Amino acid sequence: DCDGNCIAGEDCAGVCGGDAVVDECGVCGGDGIGGHACDCDGNVEDCAGECGGSAVEDDCGVCGGDGTSCIPVQLGFGTVADGNMEILYDSPGDISGFQFDVSGVDVISASGGDAEAAGFTTSTGNNTVLGFSFTGASISAGSGVLTILNFEGSGEACLESPVVSDPVGEGYNIQLGDCVTIDDACPSGDYDCAGVCDGT
């Protein structure tokens, strides 16, 4: 007014008629939470959406992962002899179930291996092999003999259509080994340099 009194009101900076306001961080005339920050301390959200959290994506693109989800489970043939063939595995994580087909021979049954040691039920039908646990048990991460197949016939045996799941039901990436040729005259298919079956 004419006496110098502020009748318009002062803003937070003490300016008569000013428009400065206190931002969400309590700063007069401040810009508030800016940029990619999620709070007044300048923190940002981690990959899990937690403000100031420490979760990061692993090399496989999984938030908070341990870098193993994209490492493939390897399946292949081991020793083949006397109508039996070992199925070998190498897995970065625990296995809660598996299924695969075998072509080229007739699969009669499956037993033994780490699947049986873990209490899995393993069944076969139409050359499909299925293994899982009714109690939720898992085969520990690592490598070994998954199961042993009893088979008939000869020819080129191959593993096909594999599915291997982790304890939460997610499927692993899978890398299959080479097919194996099964000869009636040499069931193992392992000839030495002199052409002797199972020779040294």
The span from the CA of 155 to the CA of 103, in Å, is: 9
Q: Read off the amino acid at residue 4.
A: G
Write the pLDDT tens digit of every residue in 36-75: 889 998 899 999 999 999 999 988 888 988 887 788 999 9
The span from the CA of 186 to the CA of 62, in Å, is: 47
Predicted TM-score (pTM) of this structure? 0.67
Write the pLDDT tens digit of every residue in 74-122: 999 999 988 999 999 999 999 999 999 999 999 999 999 999 999 999 9
Q: Which residues contact 68 (CB under 8 A, 6 or more apart)?
A: 60, 92, 93
